[in-house]
């Protein structure tokens, strides 16, 4: 069980990065993995808040793939890096996380948007040859989330994060299904922690609708909590199920269409129907938030969604409702039509 040593969430938290690093891990040579835009926006501030005797290096990454992970690993070795900071969205954090794990170097997560639950989880989402892989790595030693920075990100990322959190409803139900039908280990505490993160979003969907920026902190804390649930479970089971397989399948069939959490949110509606859950309640919560509930809203056609539903159970052997029902093409199309996700 790997969990972060320290978590700091608050306004202007970036100004405390130096003392946060001191608290988490004593280091002299720090590598920050980020993208070009974020370096331009916050690079100077980061350099100012870190101690003068710290040697700081930067690595710009474009994609979360093995090529970028290898590039960061080489930099770690060449510059004798003793601490890695992943600053940005899922791409930067996942690349930093996996390269840190492979090189056995401590890692700190500094998210700049609330689009995903990988902020504090021990899993990295990496693509290779257009195919997504969820790879076990290490939980960050620390998570520092600056609410001002996260609030300034496009609202679409925030809504995507809400979709990723609501997805825990069907992820946990898939986990229970695997326990009941396959004898798979099921951790009640981790499952309940993930469900709590989803419940916070669903119950507050109306408030999020009218005052989204007032709820940014709650969403960030819920995303971190979901990552911790995965750390406790020792797998992504409490956070990722059939709805994530649907999202990953769309990555293959319709690359570049929709954010991860957007696709997971739509996937949750579909999988809730298969699980005989109240999918309309989930759909209503997503609509309140302003997240997409129909595939055409993210540029996905009915044909692409059908193909994704059929491909999804083949992407991973992990048992889910999609493996149990084994949808035919006609059944997949009927599911899309009946849930109104077309």
Model pLDDT for residues 298-326, shown as the tens digit of each residue: 999 999 999 999 999 999 889 999 999 99
| Residue 145 sits in the same domain as residue 77 | yes
How much is the mean pLDDT over the chain?
94
341 phi and psi, to 5 degrees? -100, 10
C-alpha–C-alpha distance, residues 121 and 133, integer Å: 15
Contact 137, 100 (CB under 8 A): yes
| Residue 65 sits in the same domain as residue 187 | no
**pLDDT more than 90, % of the chain:** 88
Q: Is the confidence at residue 129, as pLDDT, over 70?
A: no
The answer as to whether 123 is a domain residue is: yes
| Residue 199 sits in the same domain as residue 267 | yes
| Residue 96 sits in the same domain as residue 122 | yes
Q: In the structure encoding, which two tokens stand for residue 180, read together?
A: 């009941």
Max distance between CA atoms of the chain, in angstroms, equals: 64
| Residue 54 sits in the same domain as residue 178 | no
| Residue 134 sits in the same domain as residue 227 | no
| Residue 207 sits in the same domain as residue 137 | no
| Residue 140 sits in the same domain as residue 168 | no
Of 128, 151, 174, which marks where a domain is finished?
151
The number of folded domains in the chain is 2
C-alpha–C-alpha distance, residues 50 and 140, integer Å: 19
| Residue 147 sits in the same domain as residue 228 | no
| Global confidence as pTM | 0.93
Closest Cα to residue 160, out of 90, 207, 230?
90
Host domain of residue 45: 6-151
CA distances to 95, 137, 155, 157 from 25, rounded to whole Å, are: 20, 18, 33, 30
| Residue 112 sits in the same domain as residue 173 | no
The answer as to whether 1 is a domain residue is: no
């Amino acid at each position: 069980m790997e969990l972060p040593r320290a978590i700091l969430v608050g306004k202007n938290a970036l100004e405390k990065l130096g003392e946060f690093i001191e608290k988490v891990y004593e280091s002299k040579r720090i590598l920050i993995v980020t993208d070009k835009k974020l370096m331009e926006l916050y690079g100077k501030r980061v350099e100012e808040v870190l101690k003068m005797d710290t040697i700081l290096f930067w690595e710009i990454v474009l994609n979360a793939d093995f090529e970028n992970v290898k590039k960061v690993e080489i930099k770690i070795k060449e510059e004798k890096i003793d601490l890695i900071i992943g600053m940005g969205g899922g791409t930067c954090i996942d690349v930093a996380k996996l390269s840190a794990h492979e090189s056995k170097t401590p890692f700190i997560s500094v998210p700049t948007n609330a689009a995903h639950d990988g902020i504090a989880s021990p899993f990295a989402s990496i693509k290779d040859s257009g195919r997504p892989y969820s790879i076990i790595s290490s939980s960050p030693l620390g998570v520092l989330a600056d609410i001002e920075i996260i609030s300034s990100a496009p609202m679409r990322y925030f809504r995507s994060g809400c979709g990723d959190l609501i997805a825990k409803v069907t992820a946990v139900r898939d986990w229970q299904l695997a326990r009941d039908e396959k004898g798979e280990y099921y951790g009640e505490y981790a499952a309940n922690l993930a469900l709590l993160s989803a419940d916070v979003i669903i119950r507050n969907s109306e408030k999020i609708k009218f005052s989204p920026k007032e709820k940014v902190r709650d969403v960030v804390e819920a995303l971190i909590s979901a990552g911790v649930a995965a750390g406790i479970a020792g797998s992504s089971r409490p956070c990722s199920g059939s709805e994530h397989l649907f999202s990953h399948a769309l990555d293959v069939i319709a690359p570049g269409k929709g954010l991860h959490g957007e696709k997971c949110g739509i996937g949750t509606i579909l999988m809730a129907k298969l699980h005989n859950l109240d999918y309309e309640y989930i759909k209503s919560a997503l609509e309140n938030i302003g997240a997409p509930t129909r595939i055409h809203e993210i540029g996905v056609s009915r044909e692409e969604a059908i193909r994704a539903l059929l491909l999804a159970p083949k992407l991973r052997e992990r048992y889910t409702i999609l493996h149990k029902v084994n949808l035919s093409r006609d059944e997949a199309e009927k599911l899309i039509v009946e849930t109104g996700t077309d």
